[in-house]
Amino acid sequence: MKHIENESLREAIIRRTQWPYGKRDVQYQSVDSTLPGIRDMDHRYEIMNFPETFEGETVIDIGCNIGMICIDAKRRGAKRVVGIDYRPETIEVAKKLAKELELEVEFYTFDVNDGLDVLKDLIGEEQFDHVFALSIWGHVDKPTLANLINYYTKTLCWFEGHCVIWSNDTKSAMEVEFENLLDFDYYEFLGETSDRSARQNYKLSRSSRVIMEERNKQVYFNGDIYKTVRGTYVEDNHGEPSVPEDVEYYSYKGKFCSFIAKKGDDYGYKIFIQDPAHGTDDHEEKKSRVEKIFKIQNILHEEGFAPKAHEIIICHDDQTFYYGIKVDNINGKFVETSKDWQDRFANVCKKHNISRDKDSFDFKPNNCIEQDGKIYMVDIDVRWKMA
């Protein structure tokens, strides 16, 4: 964080972004080591597991105060960042701070109690990848705030309650409120911040949780809860799958998609983590690609060459939104295919006008798994086309 040298800005931060206003001799959020607030943002980020990157994503912070969440999301690559708070003088300072830091953040004065229609007129109707609602729940009309959160959250809502003692925002009390007012399939308790008072932090998601390792640390999707065990990725799918005996969950990470499954389950999940050459940020485009893959895979399944695709799933990690498909879990060994198998496979593809990459089909299928004497092509991905 760049040190804020501008004296009048420093003074304004301390005097005009307090909460409750005028009752402290210091601002609410810490800005840097020379401007500590009554909330320690570093501590909060650690408890929340604040994402390392927001690359290409959109963020809104409801009750943003001086806007440190907005500023840090922008510094971590967010595409559009909006901060709203009902105190005009606080918003004025937030704007000045972002300007000083040369960051483009939209700050608006807005009273949560004015409701969704007023907010839509102010900031537009587009949803956000991340909605932050931290220590604001108890200051406003809850159903009205819940309505904003439910409407604007595309994938994740980061939520902090208030002091367990003053507000009775205990974990169980919060969870009852989530059930009653918030429209999420899943909430994850992240931990309790202790910089101000014991405050519960949650991540609310529209879908369930999967943990993958490396870049995609946490992937959420509308299936069961899955855990991937460190060290079970097979980067190069030639040879036998090296799933250790003692793991329950496993995954393969290909160039264009990852497959995750639980040993012995009937189904697994193929998630399309596209490489930059095929990558797109456009959700509609991602959706139409996965629909195409789904169709191709089921044609090849009916011809006896691929596992069945059951349904399209939506998933996301802390950073990116993906589509995937729920597919039959093929528990077998990777095998080299015979010339005869390859010819039959190529003929079926020709019959259905299916090809891979540059309209050609003169490649040697690599990712083939044999199970019960039958060979399945498993890596049908974004490169595949059907005329």
Ligand X SMILES: C[S@@+](CC[C@H](N)C(=O)[O-])C[C@H]1O[C@@H](n2cnc3c(N)ncnc32)[C@H](O)[C@@H]1O
**Closest approach of ligand X to the CB of residue 86, in Å:** 4
Helix (H) or strand (E) holding 148: helix 142-152
Query: Per DSSP, what are the bridge partners of residue 106?
Result: 82
**Could you identify the residue written with the tokens 């937030």?**
94
Q: Name the segment binding ligand X (CB under 6 A); options: 51-59, 80-88, 149-157, 320-328.
A: 80-88
Q: Pick the binder of ligand X from 12, 18, 28, 97 (CB under 6 A).
A: 28
**Could you identify the residue written with the tokens 């408890």?**
47
**Closest approach of ligand X to the CB of residue 54, in Å:** 17
Residue closer to ligand X, measured from CB, 114 or 265? 114
Residue closer to ligand X, measured from CB, 107 or 334? 107
Size of the site for ligand X (CB under 6 A): 19
CB 85 within 8 A of CB 70: no
**Taking the alpha carbons of 305, 311, 312, 315 in that order, is the dihedral positive or negative?**
negative
Q: Does 90 engage in binding with ligand X (CB under 6 A)?
A: yes
Can you tell me the distance from the alpha carbon of 385 to that of 355, in angstroms, rounded to the nearest whole number?
5
Which value, to the nearest 10 degrees, does the dihedral of the CA atoms of residues 39, 44, 45, 49 take? Answer: -170
Q: Does 200 engage in binding with ligand X (CB under 6 A)?
A: no
Residue closer to ligand X, measured from CB, 135 or 355? 135
Residue closer to ligand X, measured from CB, 147 or 237? 147
**Closest approach of ligand X to the CB of residue 216, in Å:** 27
CB 328 within 8 A of CB 61: no
56, 98, 226, 266, 295 from 260: Cα distances, Å: 25, 41, 8, 12, 20
Q: Does 193 engage in binding with ligand X (CB under 6 A)?
A: no
**Closest approach of ligand X to the CB of residue 50, in Å:** 12
Q: Does 85 engage in binding with ligand X (CB under 6 A)?
A: yes
Site string for ligand X, 100-139 (x = CB under 6 A): -----------xxx--------------------xxx--x
DSSP state of 41: H
Residue closer to ligand X, measured from CB, 137 or 384? 137
Q: Tokens for 73, please give them.
A: 């999301």
**Closest approach of ligand X to the CB of residue 52, in Å:** 20
The rounded radius of gyration (Å) of the Cα atoms in the chain is 25
Can you tell me the distance from the alpha carbon of 327 to that of 290, in angstroms, rounded to the nearest whole number?
13
Q: Pick the binder of ligand X from 16, 31, 39, 107 (CB under 6 A).
A: 39
Residues that bind ligand X (CB under 6 A): 19, 28-29, 39, 63, 65, 85-87, 90, 111-113, 134-136, 139-140, 160
